Amino acid sequence: MSKNSRSGFSITTRMTQVGRDPSKQAGFVNPAIYRGSTVVFPTVNDLEHRRMEFTYGTDGTPTIANLENAWSELAGAAGTVLSPSGIGAIALALLTTLKSGDHLLMPDSVYRPTRLLCAGMLAKMGIETSYYDPLLGKDIVTQFRANTSVLFLESPGSQSFEVQDVPTMTALAKEHGITTIIDNTWATPLFFRAHEHGCDLSVEAGTKYLGGHSDLLLGLISANAQWWPKLREAYDLMSMLPGAEDCFLALRGLRTMHLRLKAAETRALELANWLKSRPEVLKVLHPAFPECPGHEFWQRDFTGSSGLFSIILQPQYSKAALENMLDYLSIFAMGFSWGGFESLVLPFNCADYRSVTHWQPGGLAIRIQVGLEDMNELKTDLEQGFERLKKFV
């Protein structure tokens, strides 16, 4: 089925169809897994003129191309390339758009490994990174310099969930000839249309909701028409492609991704509202709640929310009390990722690495990933944890 013939269908229907073609798959519903390095050519002339869709394994395979094409259609992009991890995708996007002597703007709320990449590899290349308040909005122009080449966005922010005014900021960047990149992992293209809101490149950790089962690492970078040739060139030069099995798992995860996201949204909102009523909780940081910084932009620009949010505990609780709460949870596990079927908690403190904004939430912070377990049992697990928390006051 052609892309145009799918345009009138809902996103739920389209996600069952993109990235596969049974007429080219001997009638099988799902495409095959292609593993390979060498591609053989029928004639010398074909070899010399590279007359094959793929000329070597580093060009990709039909498995990889199926996923790239599917993601481009869902993201509304001119093209997509893949990476073995989310941070790899961020690195590729930055290396595509930056050169020595450039200035990069990063939100102070950005995913911490991105900060490490900027302080390490990019600094060695002579690229200067400055951090800005993610809620600057139209005042982002005060941070622009003559050599500012890239404005990076992450909305909502990692752990602290500030929602940025993306359309305003990308429009101002465009006026100044500045390229924009967004980390859109929390919302995915299903809940936030990054390219339609002015972003040149959009990065996604497919490790999270695309995979959906905590069993693969994957990154995706989609680009608009202006940046797609340059992104593909950088990708081809580095040959930083993922394995065939991971792409197959991602294509399989794609079929149920919208349903899983909607379920995650409903379940997270239920748990977040329950936590909001708990006396141990000072506040809930969820973009769909009015008290979340930048909520008005989420309400204007997003079509949904995913299963990840944070809570701030009341100020009287100590770190020892928090450890007593989290160490003995029965269902919630502690881990750095999210987007899978299992519920997770992660204690965090942004004050350790923020550089231009002050992280003073009023109490200790916990990030929560809501999985697929029974909701009443999840609440009971946290309720028992709160009882342990209060024993240390």
Phi, psi of 117 (to 5 degrees): -60, -45
Give pLDDT tens digits for 328-360.
Answer: 999 999 999 999 999 999 999 999 899 999 999
- The token pair that represents 39 in the structure block: 């591609």
Measured CA to CA in angstroms, residue 147 lies from 73, 125, 152, 182, 227 at distances of 33, 15, 15, 20, 19
Are the C-beta atoms of 357 and 366 separated by less than 8 Å? no
Edge-to-edge strand order for the sheet containing 333-334?
Answer: 281-285, 308-313, 365-369, 344-348, 333-334
Domains in the chain, ordered, with CATH? 11-253 (3.40.640.10), 258-390 (3.90.1150.10)
What is d(CA 292, CA 162) in angstroms, rounded to the nearest whole number? Answer: 7
Measured CA to CA in angstroms, residue 238 lies from 58, 153, 226 at distances of 9, 24, 20
What is d(CA 347, CA 367) in angstroms, rounded to the nearest whole number? Answer: 6
What is d(CA 251, CA 248) in angstroms, rounded to the nearest whole number? Answer: 5
Buried-state track 242-260, b at ≥16 Cβ within 10 A, e below 16:
bbbebbbbbbebbbebbeb
Beta strands per DSSP E along the chain? 79-83, 103-107, 128-132, 148-154, 179-183, 201-205, 219-223, 281-285, 308-313, 333-334, 344-348, 365-369
Classify residue 226 by its DSSP letter.
T
Are the C-beta atoms of 313 and 284 separated by less than 8 Å? no
pLDDT in tens, the chain (393 residues): 556 566 778 888 887 888 888 788 878 888 889 998 998 999 999 999 999 889 898 999 999 999 999 999 999 999 999 999 999 999 999 999 999 999 999 999 999 999 999 999 999 999 999 999 999 999 999 999 999 999 999 999 989 999 999 999 999 999 999 999 999 999 999 999 999 999 999 999 999 999 999 999 999 999 999 999 999 999 999 998 999 999 999 999 999 999 999 999 999 999 999 999 999 999 999 999 999 999 999 999 999 999 999 999 999 999 999 999 999 999 999 999 999 999 999 999 999 899 999 999 999 999 999 999 999 999 999 999 999 999 886
pTM score: 0.94
Give pLDDT tens digits for 360-387.
Answer: 999 999 999 999 999 999 999 999 999 9
Backbone φ/ψ region at 361: left (φ over 0), alpha (ψ -120 to 50), beta = alpha
Measured CA to CA in angstroms, residue 193 lies from 82, 168, 189 at distances of 19, 14, 5
pLDDT value for 11: 80
Contact partners, residue 147, CB within 8 Å, separation at least 6 = 101, 102, 103
Torsion angle, alpha carbons of 234, 240, 246, 250, to 10: -20
